[in-house]
Amino acid sequence: MRKITVIHWFVLLVSISALAQNKQILYNFTSVPQSMMTNPGADVSYKFYFGLPFLSGISTHVGSSGFSAYDLFADNGVDFNAKLREVVFSTTSNDKLVVNEQLEIINGGFRLGDTDNHTYISFGMYQEFDAIVYVPKDPAILALDGNQNYLGKSFNLGDLSARAESVSVLHLGFHKNIKDNLIFGARGKIYTSGFNANTTNNSGYIYTIPSNTTVYEQIIYSNLQLQTSGLSNYIDGNNQNEEAKSVVRKAFLGPDLGLGLDVGFTYYPKKNIQWTGSVLDVGFITHSKDVKTYNFKGYYEYKGINPDFTNINNSGSSFSDFQDAIALDTIRAKYKTWRPVKMNASYQYSFNDSRGASDCNCYGNSNKGYKNALGAQLFMMTTPKTPLMALTAFYQRNIFNNVHMKATYTMDSFSYTNIGLGLSGNIGAFNIYLMGDNLLAYRDVSKAKTLSVQFGINFVFKGHDDQ
């Protein structure tokens, strides 16, 4: 029995799409102002700071829970189709490929009032690209092998699940000490979406029932949908006249708008014990410009000698019957997407107090107070399927007054051997930081299943009491 090629375009779409936003090194690394982006209630209180435009925060992350680039592209004499087949059969439909990129355009903050006030305002804008694709296991097997050896098996079309989006975010944050040992913060966000593509609520099946050696009963139930905004010209091939500056403008200030909220806190039950938590990106985007939704919905049943869909001209009326039963329906209607919500929580124990008899390790503790800290952080993020989770153990040390280090060990669905390191240094008001994780994988990055890098330059100005 030949392969059913009508699903090939959908498998290809999902395969070439490629969200993880766990910034475990940056989280609560308060010598870096950008730590407020992971917790608006972080314990920072610089007099004021501003980031170098387009260079204050650059981060990238790629991850795969089921395979590495080496598994597909190794120069080992094995045919690519054989390697692709091995990857497909060794993964599950819950394995995923994720990509995240973030670029800060502007970022700044300032303290209101004197040092004892501990009220802080932050603001900025950043651009971000997110994508996640799940391994379409059943459709991929069907595309590779056909259904000749799988008679009686139901191929699940719900395995097709992917999402990609480019957004820019304007944000304004506020945090204040509610009590001497409790800080609360919140940040409002305005999202502008340049483009969106998602196909996450699919269902259906392809089922072949053998009647005898030559006659088959083929049943296809399809409930597939692809929602897009900002992409119809590219999908339809009508983008020849779109200027480069228009593409850049859409990437940084897209036409579709949304709102979001971040909240977070820092709490000290004792002077050397700290609890933190944050919930980020509780929000939505309404897509109404250049929207197009593609639907493949319907039911098709065929009984007889196997039709050859690979040669449409010789398939008789079977292919036209299939097209009539499961037609491509294209509609233009606005739709809403919810942002992936991120949740963080951490516990930190600090020791080696360099301040003598000071009462509290609060209010900008990255530059004074305890030299060492140990702790753990839990991260969770909503996805189209099961939540993405990560558990991190960390060690922080103030090496010198102006040099700070954080080392992490993280376990998640991508790796159990993820060791990361972050460094932050100040020369006067000049601040620079560099962070990277899964450092052991740099011996051969092609075999790495997760990699992330963060870099930035800021100018941080402290008051006399912050030195």
Tell me the three-class secondary structure of 387-451, residue by residue: CEEEEEEEEEEEEECCEEEEEEEEEECCCCCEEEEEEEEEECCEEEEEEECCHHHHHCHHHCCEE
Question: Taking the CA atoms of the chain, what radius of gyration do you get in angstroms?
Answer: 26
Quick one: how many helices (H) and strands (E) in the chain? 7, 21
Q: What pLDDT is attached to residue 365?
A: 44
Model confidence at 327, in pLDDT bands (50, 70, 90)? Answer: confident
Q: What pLDDT is attached to residue 320?
A: 72
Domain boundaries, the chain: 5-466
Q: What pLDDT is attached to residue 253?
A: 80
Non-local CB neighbours of 241 within 8 Å, separated by 6+ positions: none
User: Phi then psi for 35, rounded to 5 degrees?
Assistant: -60, -25
| Contact indicator for 45, 36 with CB cutoff of 8 Å | no
Cα separation values, 283 from 35, 129, 190, Å: 20, 16, 9
To which residue do tokens 């040669």 refer? 311
pLDDT over 90 at 22, yes or no: no
pTM to 2 decimal places? 0.86
Higher pLDDT, 326 or 155: 155
**How far, in Å, CA of 68 to CA of 19, rounded?**
16
Higher pLDDT, 463 or 325: 325
Q: What pLDDT is attached to residue 460?
A: 95
Q: List the single range of 39-43, 91-95, 214-218, 352-356 with lowest mean pLDDT.
A: 352-356
**How far, in Å, CA of 119 to CA of 8, rounded?**
56
- pLDDT tens digit sequence for 263-308: 999 999 999 999 999 999 999 999 998 899 999 999 988 876 665 5
- Write the CATH number of the domain with boundaries 5-466: 2.40.160
Q: List the single range of 10-14, 91-95, 113-117 with lowest mean pLDDT.
A: 10-14
Higher pLDDT, 343 or 402: 343
Tell me which residue of 280, 266, 451 sits closest to 380, measured CA to CA: 280
